[in-house]
Structure 1
Amino acid sequence: MPDDKKNRSQDWYGPVNKDGFIHRSSMKALGLPDHVFDGRPVIGICNTWSEFNPCNSGLRTLAEGVKRGVWEAGGLPVEFPVSSLGEDQVRPTTMLFRNLLAMDVEEAIRAHPMDGVVLMGGCDKTTPGQLMGAASVDLPTIVVSAGPSLSGRYRGKTLGSGTDVWRLSEDVRAGTMSVKDFMAAEADINRSIGVCNTMGTASTMASLIETMGLSLPMNASLPAVDARRMALAHLSGIRIVEMVKEDMTLSSILTRNSFENAILANAALGGSSNAVVHLLALAKRVGVPLDLSDFDLGAEVPLLVDCMPSGKYLMEEFCYAGGVPAVLNSIREMLRDAPTIQGRSIRDTAAEAECYNDDVIRRLDNPVLAAAGIRGLKGNLAPNGAIIKPCAATENLLQHEGPALVFSSIEDLRARINDPDLPVTADSVLVLQGCGPQGYPGMAEVGNLPIPARLVKAGIRDMVRISDARMSGTAFGTVVLHVSPESSVGGPLALVQTGDLIRLDTQAGRLDLLVDEAELEARRADWTAPTNLAERGYVRLYQDHVLQADQGADLDFLVGSSGATVTRESH
C-alpha cells in the first residue's frame, strides 16, 4: 500500500466531526483508548462460533489467538459474528443456507469499518459461504480453520466420523451388529470438538483453501485441540495486518491457476465431491472462468492420501505425516504457479515440505489409486453435467448398465427402501428424484441412497445410485451426483421410470438413459412441475433464484461482486 493511502476504516474513525465522534465514542464503550484510532489497520474477525455447531465451537477461543497477533502487528482486532451452519444439526440441509451465510458475510464486511478480514470457519458450508461473501467485497483476507477432531476410538478400533456411521448403520441393517453395540459407539466417534476427522467436506475445503494460498501452511490438518493451532491463529493475526499494508486483496490470490491447483489437490487428497459445487460458486464471485469440464484436470492425478472415506487413516495421522504441504510437494511438478498470502508461490512453499509417513501420504510411485480425480459426466440424462467420485466407488461398477428403480422423493425412498418385496437386484440402478437445489430445497446430502434392505442382508454393499442431490464428503459408493438440470425443473432425470435402462461409463464421461427420444418427448409432454415452492421468507427467495449445480448453486443475483465501497454515511 502506498504510504499516502489511508486505510478504509479511517472513513469511519478519522473525521474530526460529529460522525467521527459517534463512531469512535461508540467503540470506546469497549474500553478502547484514543490511540487505537490513529489510522492503524482495523481487522475484522469473522467468526462462525456456535454451540449448535460443535465443529466450530473452538473458534471462540481460537479468535483470541488471532487478536494477539493483530495487536502484536500494530492492528486493531474487532470480532463479529455471522451465521453458523452446523452440518449435523441444521434441517433440512445446511446447503440451503450457504448462500444466506455468504450474504451475511458480504454485507457485514462491507458495512463495517474494517481494512482486512480473518475468516474463522470449518464445518462444511461455513468455509465456502464465508469465502463467497468475502470475495464479493475483496478486502485482504486470510482463513483460520477450526481444525479436525481427534480420531475416534471404539473397543480398540479407530473410527472415522461420518464414514464409519454409514458402515456401522449398514451392519445393523444387515443384522451383523446389534443396536446396543451401535449406540455404544456414539460417544466414541467424536472425542473432541472440531470438524469431521475424515477427509470429508470440511477438511477437504480447508485443504483446498491451503492449496489456494489463502491460509498459512498446516491450517487444514492441525487438530482443533492442538496447541499449534492457537499458534497458527496468532501468526495469522500478524500476517493479515501485513497483508493490509501490502494491499494484498482476495482477488489477487484467487487466480485461475489457484482454482486449477485446488482441482489437482482434491484428486490427490481423495477430497469431497462437494468441492465441485463450492469451487464453481466461488469462481463466479471473483470472475474466474471455471466449469464442470475443468474438473477433468484431476482425472489422471493419483490418489496419494490414504484417508477415509477413500482410505483407512484419519486427519490426525494425515497431520502427523506432513499434511497438505507434503501432498503438494509430491505433486509440485503438476502445480500451476500461483500466489499465496505469504507473498510467495505455492510451488516454492511446497518444495520445502517433507513427508514423515509414506503409508499415510504415498509417494507418486506407490499411490493408493493410479487415477482418482472427480469426473464430470454428460449425456442425455445429464445434459448440463453430473459428477462421480471414482476413488470412493467400486471399480467394477464404474462402467455399468442396468434397469432403473426410481424413487420420486426422499420420502418415497424412506417408505420403500426396506420393503422385502422391492423389485430390485444388485444390477439395478437406484434413481432418486426431487432432491436438487430447488426441489429439496437445498440439494441435501442424500445422494448416497441406502442399499435396499434385502440386498444388504445378502451382503451387497454398493450399487450404482443416481440423483440430483449431493452426498456427504464422508460418504462412499458408486454414486452419481449433482445431475443437472435437476428433476424439479424438468431435467431428464424427471422422466426416468422404473425399468428404464441406464448406462454409466465413467471412463468416457457418459451418463445415458437408454430410452427412445420419441418416448422421452411423450413423457416430457405429460410431466407436471412440482408445487413445492415455499410461501415466504428466505426459502422462497432461494427457490426463486438458485442456480443449478453445474453453476455452483449460488443465487443468480449474488454472482460477481460489489466491492468494498459504501457511498452513504450512517448519520
Structure 2
Amino acid sequence: MSGQRSQQWYAGGDRNAYIHRAWMRRGLPGHAFDGRPHVAIANTASALTPCNAHLDEVARSVENGIWEAGGVPLNLPVVSLGETQVRPTAMLWRNMAAMATEEMLRANPIDGVVLLGGCDKTIPALLMAAASVDLPAVVVPGGPMLTGTFRGHPLGCGTDVWRLSEEVRAGTLTQREFTASESSMIRSRGHCNTMGTASTMGLLAEALGMSLPGIAGTPAPDSRLLELSHATGRLAVGMIAEGRRPSEVMTRASFLNAIVTLAAIGGSTNAVVHLLAIAGRLGVDLSLDDFDRTGSGVPLLVDLLPAGRHLMDDLYRAGGLLAVLREVRDLLDPEAVTVDGTPLTAHLGDARIFDEEVIRPRDRPLLHDAGIAVLRGNLAPHGAVIKPAAASPELLRHRGRALVFDSVEDARARLNDPDLDVDETSVLVLRGCGPRGYPGMPEVANLPLPPKLLARGVRDMVRVCDGRMSGTAYGTVVLHVSPEAAAGGPLGLVRTGDPIVLDVEARRLDVDLPAGELATRSPATAAVEAFANPSRGWERLYVDHVMQADTGADLDFLLGSSGHQVARESH
C-alpha cells in the first residue's frame, strides 16, 4: 500500500514528514504511518442537528471496521445542518457545507472517506463534496427514528405537524392537545420517519450505489445499523485498495436508477435539486427532463406518509429498499455498480416483500404512474415540479384566479384575514422564495390554507411557488418555478386576479393572458423590495453565484469534473 495518497505527507525522513507524523502521534502507533490507508470519517454529528446526534456512536463502529481491515480511522467533524433548527433555511448552507467538506478532504492526508449523514441537507452536501474530490467514498445514512404514537395513533414527523397545526387553525384540535403531541412526535434518535427528504436521500444514496447495499432505511436505534457501519468501515479500506471512486459509481446510469427509485418510493421533491447538484459536480449529463422521462410510468409501491399511510420502520420491517427495487428491476440499469464493485441489481435476488400493505407488489401499486412531473409554460419557461402522489387528484387539472403574495412575510400578514378575497378555486401564488430571492429557497411553498376555507372543510388548494416544500408535506403544490421571480422569471409579473391554468397530464403551467401581455408588465415593487440583498459574507457570495433550481441550485463556480484531478496530484 506504499502508493497511498497519505504517504505524500508521512513517507520519508525529512523535516516535513517528521512534523506530519509527530503531530499525529497522540496515541497512533508507529506502524500507522507505514503505508496503511488513512480513512476520514466525515461526521455531521451535532447536538444542534438533533437527527444526527447519534452519529458519534455510529462513527465508533465505522472506526472499528476500518481498524479491523488494516486502515487508520480519523474522525473529521464537518459542517452540520439541522433542518428544524437553522434560520432562515438549511438550504442556504448546503453548498457551503459541501464546499467546506470538499476542501477539508482535499487538504488533509487521507486516502478515502466514510460519509456520515442523516438530516436533509447532510447527505446531499457530503455527496457533492465527495463527487468534487473524487477520493474513494461511501455513505452511512444515520437512519430514521422509531414511530411514536399520540392518543393511540402513529405520528409521522413533519407530515403530522402540518396536519395537526391545520386542525388547530380549523378549531378541531386544542392548542393544549397540539403541544402535548410534541413529546410523542420524536420517539427516538434518528431523522424523520416519513418519506421526507432525509429518508429519501438516505435511500437514494443506496440507489446511486454510494452505500453498502441493504443499509438504507435501517432505523437509527437498531443495532443492525452499527453492524452495517462496521462493515462499511471494512469496505472503505477495500475501496481504497481497489481505487474505486465516486466518479466510477455515480454514472448517468446510477442517476437514472435513482430517479426510478424516487418514483417507486414516493420520495421528496427536494431530491430533484439534490440529484441535479451532485450530477453537476461530477459533470454527469442530467437534466430536469430526465426526471419526467425516466420517472414517467414508474409505479408508486411504498405506502408511506405523506403519500400513503405507514412510516419508515414499517418499510424496513416489510423488506426495505432492496425489496422495492426488486419489483422494478426491469426499469433499472444493470450496468450501474455500487461501492462494492458489483451491480446494484446483483443485490436484489434475495430481497422479499414481507408486508404487502407497506410495499405493494408491482401488479398492485398505490399509483401506476408516480414520477415527479415536470411542468413548463409561460409561468415556468425553465421548468417547475409537482409531486402527483402527494396532490389531490381532482386538482391536477385546474383553472383558478391568482391570489398573489409578494413574500413569505406578506403571506403571513394576510392569509388569516377573514376578509381575504379567496375561495377554494383560487390559486395561491407565493414568490420571492427562490435560491436568490429569499435567499436559500426555503420550504414555504405549501402555504397554510386561509382559516375561512379551513372552517368550510377545504384541506387542499393549488399553490404555486419558486421555493421548495418539505418532503414530509403534502398538497397540490407546484414548486421550484424557474426562473424564480428574483432572477427575472415571469412569476414576478403575475397579478392577483390573473387566471392560472395547471394541467399536470399535459405538463403545463400557464397564466392565461393575451400574447405579449406579460412583456408589458414590470415586476411588482413590493416583490422586488422583498428580494434578498445581503451586503457581506456567505449570503452575498451565495446570491451572486447561486444557479436556478432547474440545475440544482449549486454555485456556478463549483460545477464540472475539473476538480477531480486534484485528489490525484502530489502534495
Q: Residue 235 in 1 paired to residue 231 in 2?
A: yes
CA shift, 1:521, in A, is 1.4
Q: Which residue of 1 aligns with 2:484?
A: 486
Q: Give 1:529 shift.
A: 4.5
Q: Deviations over 1:64-103 (max 9, x none)?
A: 0000000000000001111110000000000000000000
Q: Is 1:291 the counterpart of 2:287 in the alignment?
A: yes
Is 1:205 the counterpart of 2:195 in the alignment? no
- In the TM superposition, residue 342 of structure 1 has moved relative to its aligned partner by 1.7
Where does residue 501 of structure 2 map in the other structure?
A: 503
User: Contact 2:436 / 2:532 at 8 angstroms: preserved in 1?
Assistant: no
CA contact (8 A) 2:136 2:240 kept: yes
Change (3 A) 1:525 1:271: closer
Q: Tell me whether 1:542 sits opposite 2:542 in the alignment.
A: yes
**Which runs of 5 or more residues in structure 1 are unaligned?**
none
The aligned counterpart of 2:22 is 25
Give, in angstroms, the shift of residue 16 of structure 1: 1.4
Counterpart of 2:332 in structure 1 is: 335
Instruction: Tell me what 1:517 maps to.
Output: 515
Correspondence list, 1:139-150, <5 A = 139-150=135-146
2:317 matched residue in structure 1: 320
CA drift at 1:566: 8.0
Map of 1:461 onto structure 2: 459
Q: Deviations over 1:327-375 (max 9, x none)?
A: 0111001111210112211111122211111110000111111111101
- Distance apart, 1:218 and its partner CA: 2.9
Number of the residue aligned with 1:190: 186
- 8 Å contact from structure 2 (residues 8, 570) kept in 1: no
Is 2:173 the partner of 1:177? yes
Contact 1:206 1:219 in 2 (8 A): no
Which one is further off, 149-158 or 536-545? 149-158
Matched, 1:301 2:268: no
SS of match in other structure, 2:133: coil
Query: Aligned partner of 1:557: which letter?
Result: F
Question: 2:87 pairs with 85, 91, 96, which one?
Answer: 91
CA contact (8 A) 2:41 2:74 kept: yes
Quick one: distance in 1 between partners of 2:143 and 2:539?
30
Aligned residue type for 2:286:
L
Asked whether the 8 Å contact 1:308–1:474 carries over to 2, the reply is yes
CA contact (8 A) 2:427 2:461 kept: yes
* Structure 1 residue 401: Cα displacement: 0.6
Residues 43-192 of structure 1 aligned to structure 2 (within 5 Å): 43-192=39-188
Cα deviation, 1:424-453, whole Å, max 9, x if unaligned, reads 010000000100000000000000011111
**C-alpha deviation, 1:463, in angstroms:** 0.4
Is contact 2:138–2:232 with CA below 8 Å preserved after alignment? yes
| Partner residue in 1 for 2:394 | 396
The 5-angstrom pairing of residues 236-385 of structure 1 reads: 236-296=232-292, 297-337=294-334, 338-385=336-383
Aligned twin of 1:441 = 439
8 Å contact 2:142–2:191 — kept in the other structure? yes
- 3-state SS of 1:376 partner: strand
Instruction: Tell me how far 1:213 sits from its aligned partner.
Output: 1.1
How far the C-alpha of 1:146 sits from its partner, in A, is 0.9
Distance 2:104 2:496 in 1: 49
CA apart distance, 1:219: 2.1
Contact 2:44–2:80 (Cα < 8 Å) also in 1: yes
SS of residue paired to 1:69: helix
Amino acid at match of 2:505: Q
Residue range with higher mean Cα deviation, 524-533 or 372-381: 524-533
Does the aligned pair in 1 maintain the 2:143–2:220 contact within 8 Å? Answer: yes
Which deviates more, 341-350 or 499-508?
341-350
The verdict on how the C-alpha distance between 1:248 and 1:413 changes in structure 2, with shifts beyond 3 A counting, is same
Question: Shift of residue 161 of structure 1?
Answer: 0.5
Give the SS at the match of 1:384: strand
Q: Is the 8 Å Cα contact of residues 322 and 351 (structure 2) preserved in structure 1?
A: yes
The alignment partner of 1:84 has SS state of coil
- Report the count of equivalent residues: 565
- Identical pairs, percent: 55
Q: Mean alpha-carbon deviation: is it higher for 429-438 or for 215-224? A: 215-224
Give the Cα–Cα distance (whole angstroms) in 2 for the partners of residues 388 and 526 of structure 1.
Answer: 26
Q: Give the AA of the match of 1:520.
A: L
Partner of 2:12: 15
Residues in 2 aligned to 1:271 and 1:264: alpha-carbon distance in whole angstroms: 10
Contact kept? 1:386, 1:480, Cα under 8 Å: yes
CA distance in 2, matches of 1:343, 1:441: 40
Which stretch has the larger CA shift, 554-563 or 85-94?
Answer: 554-563
Q: SS in structure 2 opposite 1:435?
A: coil
Partner of 2:473: 475
CA distance in 2, matches of 1:215, 1:457: 47
Report the residue type matching 1:20 in the other structure: A
SS in structure 2 at match of 1:344: coil
- State the distance in 2 between where 1:526 and 1:131 align: 38
Deviation at 1:532, TM superposition (A): 3.0
Map Cα deviations across residues 147-183 of structure 1 (whole Å, 9 max, x no partner): 1011021111100000000000011011111111111
On the 8 A contact 1:495/1:520 being kept in 2, the answer is yes
The alpha carbon displacement at 1:259 in A equals 0.3
Query: In 1, Cα distance between the equivalents of 2:143 and 2:251?
Result: 25
Q: Residue 332 of structure 1 contacts residue 351 of structure 1 at CA under 8 Å; is this kept in 2?
A: no
Provide the secondary structure at the position in 2 that maps to 1:524: coil
How far 1:525 sits from its partner (Å)?
A: 7.7
Secondary structure of 1:220's aligned partner: coil
AA aligned opposite 1:299: S
Q: Secondary structure at the residue paired with 2:201?
A: helix
Q: 1:336 to 1:566 in 2, by over 3 A?
A: closer
- Of residues 518-527 and 174-183 in structure 1, the stretch that sits farther from structure 2 once superposed is 518-527
Residue type at the aligned position of 2:302: V
Structure 1 residues 529, 362: closer, same or farther in 2, change over 3 A?
same
Which whole-Å CA distance do the structure 2 matches of 1:235 and 1:256 have between them? 27
Matched-pair contact (CA < 8 Å) for 2:492–2:523: no
Residues in 1 aligned to 2:117 and 2:207: alpha-carbon distance in whole angstroms: 17
* Superposition TM-score, scaled by structure 1 size: 0.97
Check the 8 A contact 1:135/1:251 in 2, yes or no.
yes
Q: Which whole-Å CA distance do the structure 1 matches of 2:133 and 2:546 have between them?
A: 21
For 1:400 and 1:15, the matched residues in 2 are separated by: 71
Amino acid at match of 1:225: P
CA distance in 1: counterparts of 2:208 and 2:440, whole angstroms: 27
Matches of 2:366 and 2:45 in 1, distance apart? 36
Gaps of 5+ in 2: none
Matches of 1:230 and 1:536 in 2, distance apart? 43
Rounded Cα–Cα distance in structure 2 between residues aligned with 1:9 and 1:352: 39
Residue type matched to 1:41 in 2?
P
